Structure 1
Amino acid sequence: MKKIETILHPVRFRIIQRFLDGQVKTAKELAKEVKDIPQATLYRQLDALVKAEVLVITEENQIRGTVEKVYALNNSSATMTKEDVKDLTKEEHLQYFLFFTAQLAKDFDAYLSQDDIDFERDGVGYRQVGLHLTDDEFMDFVKDMGKVVEKYIHNQPNPNRTKRIVSTVVIPENKGGIENDEK
Structure 2
Amino acid sequence: MTPTELLLHPVRLRIIHALSGGRSRTAGQLCDRMPDVPRTSVYRHLGLLVDGRMLEIGDERRVRGAVERSYRLCPDRPTIGPDDAMTIDEHRQGFATAMAVLIAEFNAYLDRPAAEPAADAVGYRQSTVWLSPEELEAMLSGFRAVVAPLAANTPGRGRKPYLVSPILFPGAEPD
Q: State whether TM-score is above 0.5.
A: yes
DSSP 3-state at the match of 2:118: helix
Instruction: Give the equivalent residue in structure 2 for 1:169.
Output: 167
Instruction: Give the equivalent residue in structure 2 for 1:60.
Output: 59
State the AA in 1 paired with 2:81: T
**How many angstroms does 1:149 deviate by?**
2.3
**How many angstroms does 1:72 deviate by?**
1.8
Considering Cα pairs closer than 8 Å and 6+ residues apart, tell me whether 1 or 2 has the greater RCO. 2
Q: Structure 1 167/87 Cα, relative in aligned 2: closer, same or farther at 3 Å? A: closer
DSSP 3-state at the match of 1:167: coil
Instruction: Give the equivalent residue in structure 1 for 2:37.
Output: 37
User: Normalization by structure 1: what TM-score?
Assistant: 0.73
Q: Structure 1 30/92 Cα, relative in aligned 2: closer, same or farther at 3 Å? A: closer
What's the % identity of the aligned pairs? 31
Instruction: Give the equivalent residue in structure 2 for 1:155.
Output: 154
- Distance (Å, rounded) in 2 between the aligned partners of 1:101 and 1:56: 26
State the AA in 1 paired with 2:148: E
State the AA in 2 paired with 1:49: L
Instruction: Give the equivalent residue in structure 1 for 2:100.
Output: 102
- Stretches of structure 1 that go unaligned for 5 or more consecutive residues are none
Q: Structure 1 115/24 Cα, relative in aligned 2: closer, same or farther at 3 Å? A: closer
Cα RMSD for the two superposed structures? 3.0
**How many angstroms does 1:156 deviate by?**
1.5
- Distance (Å, rounded) in 2 between the aligned partners of 1:148 and 1:75: 23
Instruction: Give the equivalent residue in structure 1 for 2:27.
Output: 27
Task: Give a deviation string over 1:102-129, Cα, whole Å, max 9, x none.
Answer: 3223333344445565433111111134
Q: Structure 1 94/128 Cα, relative in aligned 2: closer, same or farther at 3 Å? A: same
Count of matched residue positions in the alignment of Structure 1 and Structure 2: 172
State the AA in 2 paired with 1:97: F
Q: Structure 1 131/71 Cα, relative in aligned 2: closer, same or farther at 3 Å? A: farther
Q: Is the 8 A contact 1:54 1:74 kept in 2?
A: yes
Structure 1 range deviating more: 42-51 or 103-112? 103-112
- Distance (Å, rounded) in 1 between the aligned partners of 2:104 and 2:29: 22
Instruction: Give the equivalent residue in structure 1 for 2:10.
Output: 10
Q: Is the 8 A contact 2:54 2:78 kept in 1?
A: yes
- Stretches of structure 2 that go unaligned for 5 or more consecutive residues are none
- Distance (Å, rounded) in 1 between the aligned partners of 2:110 and 2:27: 27
Q: Is the 8 A contact 1:7 1:78 kept in 2?
A: no
